Amino acid sequence: MADFLSAYSIQNWLESCPQGYLMNTEYGHTADEAEPELLMTNSVLHEETIRTTVQLVVGERCALAASSGLINAAPDEASKRFLATQTLDEARHVEIFTHRLHDLGVKRGDLESMISRYANPNLVKFAELLLEKVDKKDFVAGVVGQNIVLEGMAFSVFEMMHAMDEGINPKFAHTLSGTIADERRHVGFGENRIGSLIKQYPDKKPEVERLQKEMSYYMLATFADAFRGNRAAAEARDIGLERQHAQWQGVDLGAMEPEQMEAVLADTVLKEFKTRLGRIGIEYQTPVRP
């Protein structure tokens, strides 16, 4: 417990995060970094970047609602304090991705209409399933849904985007690297804290397993919408912006069709779920494939 207490303490958060990898950043990147010119001038790429960033805002708003809601459902003080740090992390993620939308030219007054216009309905459903558990103050289901399913997904999506953006968009890659470091801490908490609770409340298992299966379906449906028939991705390859060689999970994303990238992402996330759920004593449920 001593290790758990120090690893997930506010003190550790201060030293590693705001006083560590976020030092000298402004909205997640350095002050002199900007979006590449081509993203701003090519209308297809510009719209696609807004659409993608909106999904990040939607996901992070859900994480903010979930982590703050779980504070009062947590059975112990150490978890409450960790979730308070996570709440600030998630609020920061909402802020930096919202700020990116403004950098992309979205006016403050248009923000909410832009978000409702582009938010993927499957991602919205994914978020609702989790927030139902949080609203019921169901800590075990809430933490598995948030810190394993939602954040396991976010972690891999951010990593994939980071691999694709590293060579062409240092500003966004830098923004992502800070969030990836945050998500790694959040996923670690989920695994460490929930394992013992699952042992304590084994009757929670079927419900948690059902939640994982349902959330996974809506996650895969979100991926399908994002990749299949993605005109912008094809166009980007022609322009050569997005399609530089980008190694991730042992493959070159730059040489793949959108459908192949979807498959790599889906397989990576589901494999992660299986491993992490196995460690906490939950049996991974194979979702229906959209």
The nearest distance, CB 13 to Fe ion, in angstroms, is 13
63 binds Fe ion (CB under 5 A): yes
Residue with Cβ nearer Fe ion (90 or 166): 90
Per the CB < 8 A criterion, the answer to whether 286 and 208 are in contact is no
The nearest distance, CB 68 to Fe ion, in angstroms, is 12
Q: Which three-class secondary structure state does DSSP give residue 271? A: helix
3-state secondary structure 157-180: HHHHHHHHHCCCCHHHHHHHHHHH
Rounded Cα distance, 194 and 145, in Å: 11
DSSP string covering 190-255: HHHHHHHHHHH-GGGHHHHHHHHHHHHHHHHHHHHHHHTT-HHHHHHHHHTSS-S--EETTEEGGG
Residue 280 CA, chain-centre distance (Å), reads: 21
Among 51, 81, 92, 93, binds Fe ion (CB under 5 A): 93
Q: What is the DSSP letter of 9?
A: S
Among 186, 204, 243, 276, binds Fe ion (CB under 5 A): 186
243 binds Fe ion (CB under 5 A): no
Residue with Cβ nearer Fe ion (81 or 93): 93
The nearest distance, CB 150 to Fe ion, in angstroms, is 8
The nearest distance, CB 178 to Fe ion, in angstroms, is 10
Rounded Cα distance, 65 and 134, in Å: 9
Residue with Cβ nearer Fe ion (45 or 96): 96
Stretch that binds Fe ion, among 29-37, 63-71, 217-225, 231-239 (CB under 5 A): 63-71
Residue with Cβ nearer Fe ion (60 or 138): 60
Compute the half-sphere exposure of residue 48: CA atoms within 13 Å on the CB side of its CA. 20
What lies within 8 Å, CB to CB, of 106 at 6+ separation is: 50, 114
Q: What are phi and psi of 136, to 5 degrees?
A: -85, 5
Stretch that binds Fe ion, among 55-63, 130-138, 195-203, 244-252 (CB under 5 A): 55-63
* Total residues at interface with Fe ion (CB under 5 A): 7
The nearest distance, CB 225 to Fe ion, in angstroms, is 21
Site for Fe ion in 71-90 (CB under 5 A): 90
The nearest distance, CB 251 to Fe ion, in angstroms, is 25
Site for Fe ion in 137-176 (CB under 5 A): 151
- Interface residues toward Fe ion, by CB under 5 A: 60, 63, 90, 93, 151, 183, 186
